[in-house]
Amino acid sequence: MLKDIIDNNENYQPGLSIDCVIFGFHDNQLKVLLIKVERANKWSLPGGFIPVDQDIDTAAITVLNSRTGVDGVFLRQFATFGKVDRNKQHFDKKILEYLKIEEAKGKWLMRRFVTIGYYALVDFSKILPNPANRLEVVEWIDHKEVPELILDHREILDKALDTLRIELNLMPIGYNLLPEKFTIPELQKLYETILDKKLDRRNFLRKITNIGILTKLDEKKSNVAHKAPNLYSFDKGKYDEVLKNGLNQGW
């Protein structure tokens, strides 16, 4: 696939690329989608080059799908990474020889690339990677057990996580990440997992209730050892309204 891009590099925007940070939450676990090329000893974020006939946001969707098989994910642009030496020595003559790319054509690949970062938060149990390139492995890996990454992908990943945590103060989360009916402790655990810190139970209940996006159901959670907690659901209309207008609070 990379060789095809190099052979047809006039179809791609020179010096510009995209990297995607896809976070997945399920069952109180936060993971990140990573990719590794066969024989490589380092993992990477799903990334690629920008077709000259596509808008950048469209290209991000194209890149993610072409590298992982994942589709239907809403991607948010969060930062641009452009250090002078960010891809220095990553693509060298040995790599070109291995990929059977002529050195003259390989100069396009070895130039300085600025990359645009996109991120998303999904339920990883509903996202099954299916890469078209069978020489690549795509896996969900716990965000605290991420192995060594290529280039500056660790920096990109950390920035995306920081952005996600900041945006918890600006917008609600939980819809499509929790069951249709859930408890306040389950919702609180979602926030704690992403923020990587404990939250005061009473303060969380007060803040999340004040947002006005929850509907308290006339039901309690079954099959629990202790006192059964109340079940809640999201009010989709109010959730979307708050999502549009934003929040202004901290956790």
Instruction: Give all domains of the chain, ordered by start, each with its CATH number.
Output: 2-167 (3.90.79.10), 184-245 (1.10.10.10)
pLDDT of residue 96: 64
Give me the count of residues in the chain: 251
3-state secondary structure of 246: coil
* 21 in Cβ contact with 160 (< 8 Å): yes
pLDDT at residue number 12: 92
What does the pLDDT read at residue 93? 63
Beta strands in the chain (DSSP E): 12-26, 29-37, 47-51, 76-81, 114-122, 136-142, 214-220, 230-234
pTM above 0.75, yes or no: yes
pLDDT of amino acid 178: 96
> Residues 237-240: contacts with CB within 8 Å, 24+ apart?
238/212, 238/213, 239/172, 239/175, 239/213
CB of 77 closer than 8 Å to CB of 71: no
* Residue 232 CB contacts under 8 Å (≥ 6 apart), including other chains: 181, 182, 183, 184, 187, 214, 215, 216, 217
- Residue 219 in 3-state DSSP? strand
- The b/e string for 192-221 (b: 16+ C-beta within 10 A; e otherwise) is bebeeeebeeeebbebbeeeebbeeeeeee
Q: In this predicted structure, what is the pLDDT of residue 92?
A: 59
Contact 108, 11 (CB under 8 A): no
Decide: helix, strand or coil at residue 81: strand
* Residue among 9, 13, 21, 35 nearest 163 (CA): 21
What pLDDT, on a 0 to 100 scale, did the predictor assign at position 95? 64
State the pLDDT at residue 77: 97
On the CB side of 166, how many CA atoms lie within 13 Å of its CA?
A: 7
Q: What is the pLDDT along the chain (251 residues), one digit of tens a residue?
A: 676 777 787 899 999 999 999 999 999 999 999 999 877 789 999 999 999 999 999 999 999 999 999 999 999 999 999 998 887 666 656 666 666 677 676 677 778 899 999 999 999 999 999 887 777 899 999 999 999 999 999 999 999 999 999 999 899 999 999 999 999 999 999 999 999 999 999 999 999 999 999 999 999 888 766 778 899 999 999 999 999 998 877 78
Q: Name beta bridge partners: 24.
A: 31, 122
Per-residue pLDDT at 72: 92
